[in-house]
Amino acid sequence: MSLNLLHKVVKAESAAFRYRVQIRFALDYCNEKQTLLDKIVQNSFDEKQQLAGLSLALEHLVNNASDMELLSQRQTLMQLEACAPQNQFLCTARTSGDVCTGAQMTESSRSLTPPGFWHFPSCSEENNNFSGLFRHSSSEMNLTIPSPVRQMHIQGRSHDHLVCPTGVAVTHDGFVFITDRGRQRVQVLDSSGDMLGFFRKTTETDSTELGSPAGIAISSLGYLVVIAEPHQRRVSVHARDGRRLFSLRLNWQWPFGVALNSKGQIVVTDNCENGNLYIVTVDWTNGSVLQLQTVESLKYPCFVACSKKDEIAVAINNSVRLYNTAGSLIWTSTPEQGNNCALICPKGIAIDKNSNLIVSDYSSGKVVLLSSEGRWLMNIVSSGLKGPQGLALSPNGLLVIADSQNHTIQMHSYQPASNAATSI
């Protein structure tokens, strides 16, 4: 009996030993896997830190690029300002040819200069383009502002009136630039719609040599003004005081619409039957073309706009097209059946912060809203317009419309957050 019991004890101890060995193996395996997992976690953490560092470095590069752009533009304009005579300024003009020198200018008239604008040399100075801002008081303008402000009509009188407002652009600080093809000049308004002045030609020969300005765009920093001049077959770049910095002459027949993307590239439409869309990378310090990208075979491309993602929207014939940054087509708007929604002759175009498209229809006299996918959403302005062309959105929530055949600029309140606008 005792031997049998001893045998059972030995057998149990042997089994326990085997279990201990297996458990030891299992523990070793778990420890090995834990060590491996710890290494993976550590590597992931290291990679996460590396990615964070890389992201921060890229962000610094972007900021540095913006700073470089700002610095180059400021340096360019400071050099221009340094070259201009400091004792000559322009003041309020009684007629389009009246100019006052610095000696005739009073301290009160100097104080009228809007912030961010530079003084200008006399019109007698040789300049083959636009020359300075002529001052006008708001009392000379036919300006109606209903209360509350929902709509403004801006129409000048006598020698400063708008004849054929075509393109509009708004700076980040609210100044409105208008190309007037009838008057062959660029007019400037402040954020409340008061007339500040205009760029004008300096010699009689300019009126024949320089075509009427069409599309206009402002750099993100507000220092540079890009203007399409179809008759001259060129796109010119100006300081915001009107002095031309350089001009681009490429193989285009009728450059009409211009826009600037976040990379500082100039987007130009060639408004002809077999037109093209050009994406031009330039050296802003000397105007040399660094890279040229072309989207071909567009039928009468008109105005153009760029989104925050640098997608390009262009009005073409009776539709609107959206291209990506590589110039590949994303979508083309289709004529909507019923509800009188079809685009007959789209001209102006703007993009809100929700990537919805605002389009003016020259023939129907409407301004419509398209979704980011190209679907018709609503009429923003359905009456009161005659031949609307250029569009722009101001930082204070206004939609600026060049109402060319009514010879006015209209400003309507706009609410992009709700994908809707005040319908007038």
- Which of 82, 112, 139 finishes a domain? 82
In a domain, 99, yes or no: no
For residues 35 and 138, membership in a common domain is answered with no
pTM higher than 0.75 for the full model?
A: no
pLDDT at res. 75: 60
- Which of 58, 82, 106 finishes a domain? 82
CATH code (residue 132): 2.120.10.30
For residues 408 and 314, membership in a common domain is answered with yes
Domain count, the chain: 2
Domain boundaries, position 251: 126-421
In a domain, 135, yes or no: yes
In a domain, 119, yes or no: no
pLDDT at res. 220: 80
Shortest CA distance to 202 belongs to which of 92, 132, 123?
123
For residues 147 and 223, membership in a common domain is answered with yes
Q: Please, are residues 86 and 103 in contact by the beta-carbon 8 Å criterion?
A: no
In a domain, 37, yes or no: yes
DSSP string, 218-262: E-TTS-EEEEEETTTTEEEEEETTS-EEEEE--S-S-EEEEEE-T
In a domain, 92, yes or no: no
For residues 277 and 393, membership in a common domain is answered with yes
Sign of the CA dihedral with 231 first, then 232, 235, and 239 last: negative
In a domain, 413, yes or no: yes
Gap between the Cα atoms of 424 and 422, Å rounded: 6
- Which of 67, 82, 97 finishes a domain? 82
For residues 291 and 163, membership in a common domain is answered with yes
Gap between the Cα atoms of 306 and 300, Å rounded: 18
For residues 264 and 139, membership in a common domain is answered with yes
Q: Please, are residues 221 and 69 in contact by the beta-carbon 8 Å criterion?
A: yes
Q: Please, are residues 369 and 149 in contact by the beta-carbon 8 Å criterion?
A: no
In a domain, 17, yes or no: yes
Tokens encoding 91 = 């003041």
For residues 130 and 260, membership in a common domain is answered with yes
Give the other-Cβ count within 10 Å of 162's Cβ: 21
Per-residue pLDDT of the chain (424 residues; tens, 9 = 90+): 577 777 777 777 788 888 888 888 888 888 888 888 888 888 888 888 888 878 777 766 665 565 556 556 556 555 555 554 443 333 333 333 333 333 332 233 333 333 333 333 333 333 333 333 333 333 333 333 332 234 555 554 444 578 999 999 998 888 899 999 988 889 888 877 777 877 765 334 444 344 689 999 998 878 889 999 999 999 999 887 788 889 999 999 999 999 999 888 999 999 999 999 999 999 888 889 999 999 999 999 999 999 999 999 999 988 999 999 889 999 998 766 445 577 899 999 999 999 999 999 999 999 999 999 999 899 999 999 999 999 999 888 889 999 999 999 998 989 864 544 444 4
Q: What is the mean pLDDT of the chain?
A: 75
For residues 71 and 140, membership in a common domain is answered with no
Indicate the DSSP class of residue 193. S
For residues 199 and 256, membership in a common domain is answered with yes
For residues 316 and 402, membership in a common domain is answered with yes
Sign of the CA dihedral with 221 first, then 355, 366, and 296 last: positive
For residues 185 and 67, membership in a common domain is answered with no
Indicate the DSSP class of residue 264. S
Helix/strand/coil percentages in the chain, nearest 5: 25, 35, 40
Shortest CA distance to 336 belongs to which of 290, 289, 371?
371
Q: Please, are residues 257 and 301 in contact by the beta-carbon 8 Å criterion?
A: yes
In a domain, 190, yes or no: yes
Backbone angles phi, psi at 248, to 5 degrees: -110, 125
Three-point CA angle 223, 229, 232, nearest 5°:
130
Residue range 301-343, pLDDT digits in tens: 999 999 999 999 999 988 999 999 889 999 998 766 445 577 8
Residue range 90-115, pLDDT digits in tens: 333 333 333 333 333 223 333 333 33
Residues contacting residue 360 through CB under 8 Å, at least 6 positions apart: 346, 347, 348, 349, 366, 367, 385, 388, 389, 390, 391, 401
List the 244-248 sheet strands across, edge first.
216-218, 224-229, 234-239, 244-248
For residues 174 and 235, membership in a common domain is answered with yes
E strand or H helix at 71: helix 2-83
